[in-house]
């Protein structure tokens, strides 16, 4: 027998859809500032993508983070002693559960509870229908946060003959991959140039496959996880780089970024990859520690995109063809929010795969509704999620001035006209930290100038000033900047000094 109940929730209650990293960190900050979060998690355990038991998880057996432990954490819970530079899937899940426990969130999570519908309530607020087994309930909340994840609905390409592929292991999306063992002794084709595609191809290539081929539509520049044994994001996703992009013409930024990539990692065609587009932003970047070395060794072949499939035979765009036992598509995810009412979908998603929002978070027509973590980003995610969650909490708690409808509408117009794919994390970190009032004031921290400009955008560096600043944040910021050698002392290189001077002069001109 099915049952349905209705509950009017108190004004300070906030429904949060999703108990992955985005939902948990937003709940932590809402709870800090007087709200009572209620988290809805479809899986039987929190963690989002990091919970391998969740049907929506794309994290495979043996997977490691592609960003360092210093950048795959929140500001006030560290990893356990002895954690690897790149923690495993299971270690990140355990970290998130420790985080939830520390801030009293675990009892507030309704695991195994799926949100079926979210709609505006007449008279204000939000009606949310959820279900756990046969028990369904509708509740009215004053505020709702959607943090259900950007990477939950696999995107599969349309290819002539794909449905008739007869390879012994069939075809699958990378979200279904759970280790290399089934592919031993097989000929495997991995389609895509995303991080997951290249990491999966590398995993299979060193685990006994007879052959591994990777095909893609465009060649991206491929960065390793480590640059001179320093995590890549500590070097490339810096505050200085984000500030420079606000000052210099786009063509100058592209040229400088490309020169840095070529200096640090080279071009894929040097070792057997295809030639990437001259414009690095048109080509895009991806990451894999072992992919290009395996291409150089001949253990991974590279082909252009698939033209058609006939049985086990795959024909490529260059006219070549090969036989395969398995196809794996690392072709990304589409934005999926099936619980939104038809009216909300029309307002928020007039274009497929994009949400119309002010700074990826609020909509001027939808008071009391916020979205966290639903942007498409390049680089470490945890620091950005925390900043966005803090911004939501501060805005709703009145800690920062409320944005008026004119501001929200202007931001919405900007969203509709801008680019939305692979936004660099340092650009988003600056955006959300400014909105939350926690961007580090460089003038207040002269002893941390190099760390703040050229070190990693560590989550603790956003606890230096503004709401919820910490007394030990300066020492911890310096420690995070120096932990893997990106910053070894206060003395800048000539290049760093020149960029610092440019940034300071620009700030002086704007202030004048």
How many CA atoms, within 13 angstroms, populate the side-chain half-sphere of residue 107? 5
Residues 6+ apart with CB under 8 A from 260: 236
pLDDT computed for residue 405 by the predictor: 80
* Closest C-alpha to 116, from 272, 289, 337, 277: 337
How many CA atoms, within 13 angstroms, populate the side-chain half-sphere of residue 108? 25
Burial of 300 (0-12, 13-18, 19+ CB in 10 A): buried
pLDDT band at 417; cut points 50, 70, 90? low
What is the Cα 372 distance to its own chain's centre?
A: 11
How many angstroms separate the Cα of 355 from the Cα of each of 339, 363, 421, 491? 14, 10, 12, 43
Do 26 and 143 touch, CB atoms closer than 8 A?
Answer: no
pLDDT band at 2; cut points 50, 70, 90? low
Helix, coil or strand: residue 353: coil
Residues 6+ apart with CB under 8 A from 230: 484, 485, 486
- 351-392: pLDDT as tens digits: 877 899 999 999 999 999 999 999 989 899 999 999 999 999
pTM strictly above 0.85:
yes
Tell me the DSSP string of 110-169: EET-EEEEEEEPTTSSEEEEEEETTEEEEEEESEEEE---SS-EE-----TTGGG---TT
CA pair distance 209, 291, nearest whole angstrom: 15
- 425-471: pLDDT as tens digits: 999 999 999 999 999 999 999 999 999 999 999 999 999 999 999 99
More confidently predicted of 281 and 301: 301
Q: Please give the average per-residue pLDDT across 340-346, as a whole number.
A: 96
**Domains of the chain as residue ranges with CATH:** 3-152+334-439 (3.50.50.60), 153-333 (3.50.50.60)
Q: Which residues pair with 7 in a beta bridge?
A: 139
CA pair distance 384, 96, nearest whole angstrom: 16
Backbone angles phi, psi at 470, to 5 degrees: -120, 145
Strands 313-316 and 321-323: antiparallel
Lowest mean pLDDT among 18-32, 303-317, 417-431: 417-431
pLDDT band at 55; cut points 50, 70, 90? confident
What is the Cα 384 distance to its own chain's centre?
A: 8
422 has pLDDT over 80:
no
CA pair distance 470, 459, nearest whole angstrom: 12
pLDDT computed for residue 467 by the predictor: 97
- Which helix (H) or strand (E) covers residue 99, if one does? helix 89-102
CA pair distance 15, 340, nearest whole angstrom: 14
pLDDT computed for residue 152 by the predictor: 86
């Amino acid at each position: 027998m099915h049952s349905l109940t209705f509950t009017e929730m108190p004004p300070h209650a906030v429904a949060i859809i999703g108990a992955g990293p985005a939902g948990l960190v937003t709940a932590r900050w809402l709870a800090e500032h007087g709200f009572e979060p209620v988290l809805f998690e479809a899986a039987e355990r929190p963690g989002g993508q990091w919970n391998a038991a969740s049907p929506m998880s794309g994290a495979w057996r043996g997977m490691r983070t592609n960003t360092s432990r210093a950048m795959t954490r929140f500001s006030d819970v560290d990893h356990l002693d002895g954690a690897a530079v790149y923690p495993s899937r299971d270690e990140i899940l355990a970290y998130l559960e420790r985080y939830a426990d520390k801030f009293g969130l675990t009892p507030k999570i309704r695991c195994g509870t799926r949100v079926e519908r979210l709609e505006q309530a007449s008279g204000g607020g939000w009606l949310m229908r959820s279900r756990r087994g046969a028990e369904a309930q509708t509740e009215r909340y004053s505020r709702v946060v959607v943090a259900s994840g950007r990477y939950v609905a696999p995107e599969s390409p349309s290819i002539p003959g794909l449905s008739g592929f007869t390879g012994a292991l069939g075809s699958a999306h990378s979200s279904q991959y759970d280790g290399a063992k089934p592919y031993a002794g097989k000929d495997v084709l991995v389609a895509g140039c995303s991080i997951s595609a290249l990491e999966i191809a590398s995993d299979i290539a060193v685990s006994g496959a007879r052959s591994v081929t990777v095909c893609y539509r465009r060649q991206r520049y491929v960065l390793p996880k480590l640059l001179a044994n320093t995590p890549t994001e500590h070097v490339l996703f810096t505050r200085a780089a984000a500030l420079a992009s606000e000052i210099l013409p786009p063509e100058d930024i592209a040229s400088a970024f490309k020169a840095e990539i070529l200096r640090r990692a080279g071009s894929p065609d040097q070792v057997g990859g295809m030639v990437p587009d001259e414009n690095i932003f048109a080509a895009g970047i991806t990451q894999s520690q072992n992919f290009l070395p395996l291409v150089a060794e001949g253990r991974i072949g590279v082909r252009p995109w698939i033209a058609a499939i006939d049985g086990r035979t795959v024909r490529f765009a260059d006219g070549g063809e090969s036989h395969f036992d398995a196809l794996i598509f690392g072709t990304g995810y589409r934005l999926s929010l099936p619980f939104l009412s038809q009216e909300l979908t029309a307002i928020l998603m007039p274009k497929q795969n994009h949400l119309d929002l002010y700074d990826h978070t609020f909509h001027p027509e939808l008071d009391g509704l916020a979205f966290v973590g639903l942007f498409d980003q390049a680089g470490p995610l945890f620091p950005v999620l925390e900043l966005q969650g803090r911004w939501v909490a501060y805005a709703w708690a009145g800690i920062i001035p409320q944005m008026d409808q004119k501001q929200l509408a202007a931001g919405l117009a900007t969203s509709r006209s801008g680019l939305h794919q692979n936004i660099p994390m340092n650009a988003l970190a600056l955006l959300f930290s400014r909105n939350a009032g926690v961007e580090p004031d460089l003038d207040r921290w002269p002893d941390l100038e190099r760390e703040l400009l050229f070190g990693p955008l560590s989550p603790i560096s956003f606890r230096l000033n503004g709401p919820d600043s910490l007394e030990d944040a300066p020492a911890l910021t310096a420690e995070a900047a120096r932990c893997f050698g990106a910053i070894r002392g206060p003395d800048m290189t000539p290049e760093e000094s020149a960029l610092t001077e440019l940034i300071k002069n620009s700030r002086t001109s704007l202030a004048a």
